[in-house]
Structure 1
Amino acid sequence: MARAKVQRQEGRDMSGDAGTAGTLGFGHQRTAEADGAHLSMAGEMSYGDYLALDQVLSAQHPLSDHHDEPLFIIQHQTSELWMKLILHELRGARAAIARDELGRAEKMMARVARIFVQLIQAWDVLATLTPAEYMEFRDVLGKSSGFQSHQYRAVEFILGNKNAAMLRPHEHRPAIHADLQTLLKEPSLYDAALELLKRRGLAPDEAHLTRDLTQPYRQHASVEEAWLAVYRDVGTYWDLYQLAEKLVDFEDAFRKWRFAHVTTVARIIGYRRGTGGTSGVSYLEAMLKVRLFPELWDIRTRI
């Protein structure tokens, strides 16, 4: 009797959702058809149609016969899909800040921080690739390298880490090059936050706000003082304080992702030069020193 009771309980626990076809659970013969599922999809938009899975799942083209190359390809393709969503959210957050819709902006930034947690965990999967396995197909990569990712470059630009030289790898792709040029010239997410401080009467230096936006962001004493005023009077500036903390949450997640990237690359290729010609791990380690919102970190010693 006890065994039968367990089996009945397992049948309930494993019943799944209505989209699961076939026999559901252990010893439980309820089918998707009996549950009202649409099994005939002729002339209808199916799950695969909506997600364009034929195109997505046929986009992996290994250039070697090595078993582990698909892992390498899929790791990077899924990262690019997440980067696409990150860009969508960051653009939305920047626009929301400009409209004073801080709650909406904070939701978007919180989502991006969660995406980076997902991307950090993805490095654990790639770390199952050993140096010996990677070297079996490394040569087929040619000069291709992750630093050539136009979406990653767009993320860097919208976060204020701008470098016009990084447009060059995309000169052969006019549409992509034009999009990056636009982002290079536009205010960053942080610039939108600084303009918000100005609208609230916590004006950073005007010369800093009107600086050349194509250059990497450099911290400024007037910005630090503005944020310090927010943190010293949280009751008055609660919404600005919340926004600042969401920016810090995001940068914290972004830094952890960078560190996981460095660690994984060091584990797989050591300190040899990267396929794209960079110094590899040394180049990535230098990127760890970049701070996106420096004043928000420095004020913590003054509060």
Structure 2
Amino acid sequence: MTADQHHGCPVTAAPAAPSDPNPKLDFGGTTPYEDYVHASVLHSLQRTATKEPLEMSFLVVTQVMELYFGLISFEWRHARERLRHDDVPGAVAALRRSTGQLQALRAAWRPISRMTPREFNSFRDSLGEGSGFQSGAYRHLEFLLGEKSASMLVPHRAVPALHAELTAALAEPSLYDETLALLARRGHPVPAEVLDRDPAGAYVPSPGVEAVWAGVYSAEPGELTELGEALTDVAEEFTRWRHDHLLATRRAMGAKAGTGGSAGVAWLEKRAQRTVFPELWTARSHV
């Protein structure tokens, strides 16, 4: 018996040192990293239309944003599913993850926002009528937040699979709709006209929902308060992303008309004024 065993402390053998401390280099084919990440595919997708070096930066950043749109959409759909099953902690966890992803998405504006008007205009014409306004993944995000409009399906009519996906998303309850349904199941007096409304329509703020949130926040903190705060974090970061988009556009091109036929800065200013999950903000005045 060793001294350590005598005093009740079991002796743990030290892990064996690897026979070769160097990483494995020969895999006899593609690397496991390539097989998992498909990095070569990602790096093959940048096809610039001009010889301007800054176009590459613009294109890569835009593609990174698209990847984040898809990731955040995944998290919000997961959160919505958890809410349907009354799993508030699971929903909150997904919303918290998406908050960090939204912060990274916001940071993606920095390379674009530092372009001078001359630099941006050096390749802008190559975009033609292309515009982020036409992003199907971004539109899915807005639908999940409850910002619904059937007219936003029009740009995607020529792509049947995407059009069908967005049409289904338009008709589904939003993340906020599922939150209010959960509050009603927990005994909170969410108005019937809110619960029974057509989910394909734009959400209209309700004094009754405002009163429900005021009650949640006036009570002792619990998982519904955590849910409210997680949703508010999402709303805040999404609003900041819109504001960053507005500032980047204003700095790079001023008040010029946007690509894709939009009004440019004027359109973005209008969108930036929208409030996500409105009663979560107004209810705070009554607590």
TM-score in terms of structure 2 length: 0.91
SS at match of 2:260: coil
Among 281, 284, 291, the alignment partner of 2:265 is: 281
Q: Distance in 1 between matches of 2:41 and 2:142?
A: 28
1:44 CA drift (Å):
6.1
Q: Distance in 1 between matches of 2:20 and 2:31?
A: 21
The root-mean-square deviation of aligned C-alpha atoms, in Å, is 1.5
1:50 CA drift (Å):
1.3
Equivalence map 1:1-303=2 (5 Å): 34-43=20-29, 45-235=31-221, 238-303=222-287
Q: Distance in 2 between matches of 1:137 and 1:228?
A: 50
Q: Distance in 2 between matches of 1:231 and 1:50?
A: 44
1:261 CA drift (Å):
0.8
C-alpha distance after superposition, 1:98-133 (max 9, x if no partner): 111111111111111111111222211212322101
Code of the aligned partner of 1:264 = A
Q: Which moved more, 1:87-96 or 1:109-118?
A: 109-118
Code of the aligned partner of 1:290 = R
Code of the aligned partner of 2:117 = P
Q: Distance in 2 between matches of 1:252 and 1:137?
A: 32
1:36 CA drift (Å):
4.1
Q: Distance in 2 between matches of 1:221 and 1:140?
A: 48
1:284 CA drift (Å):
0.5
- Tell me if the contact between 1:217 and 1:292 (Cα under 8 Å) persists in the aligned partners: no
Q: Distance in 2 between matches of 1:135 and 1:216?
A: 36
Code of the aligned partner of 2:285 = T
Q: Distance in 1 between matches of 2:220 and 2:179?
A: 17
SS at match of 2:98: helix
Q: Which has the higher contact order (CA 8 A, sep 6+)?
A: 2
- Tell me if the contact between 2:84 and 2:182 (Cα under 8 Å) persists in the aligned partners: yes
Q: Distance in 2 between matches of 1:270 and 1:79?
A: 22
Q: Distance in 1 between matches of 2:189 and 2:166?
A: 29
- Could you say if the C-alpha distance between residues 44 and 121 of structure 1 is closer, same or farther in structure 2, counting changes exceeding 3 Å? closer
Code of the aligned partner of 1:262 = L
Code of the aligned partner of 1:119 = L
SS at match of 2:261: coil
- Tell me if the contact between 1:33 and 1:39 (Cα under 8 Å) persists in the aligned partners: no
C-alpha distance after superposition, 1:77-116 (max 9, x if no partner): 0000111100100000000011111111111111111111
Code of the aligned partner of 2:32 = S
Q: Which moved more, 1:43-52 or 1:247-256?
A: 43-52
Q: Distance in 2 between matches of 1:225 and 1:100?
A: 21
Q: Distance in 2 between matches of 1:232 and 1:217?
A: 24
Q: Distance in 2 between matches of 1:256 and 1:80?
A: 17
SS at match of 1:272: coil
TM-score in terms of structure 1 length: 0.86
SS at match of 1:65: coil
How many percent identity over aligned positions? 37
- Could you say if the C-alpha distance between residues 179 and 33 of structure 1 is closer, same or farther in structure 2, counting changes exceeding 3 Å? farther
1:33 CA drift (Å):
9.9
SS at match of 1:37: coil
Count of residue correspondences: 270
- Tell me if the contact between 1:224 and 1:298 (Cα under 8 Å) persists in the aligned partners: yes
Code of the aligned partner of 1:274 = G
Q: Distance in 2 between matches of 1:117 and 1:46?
A: 30
Q: Distance in 2 between matches of 1:67 and 1:289?
A: 34
- Tell me if the contact between 1:80 and 1:151 (Cα under 8 Å) persists in the aligned partners: yes
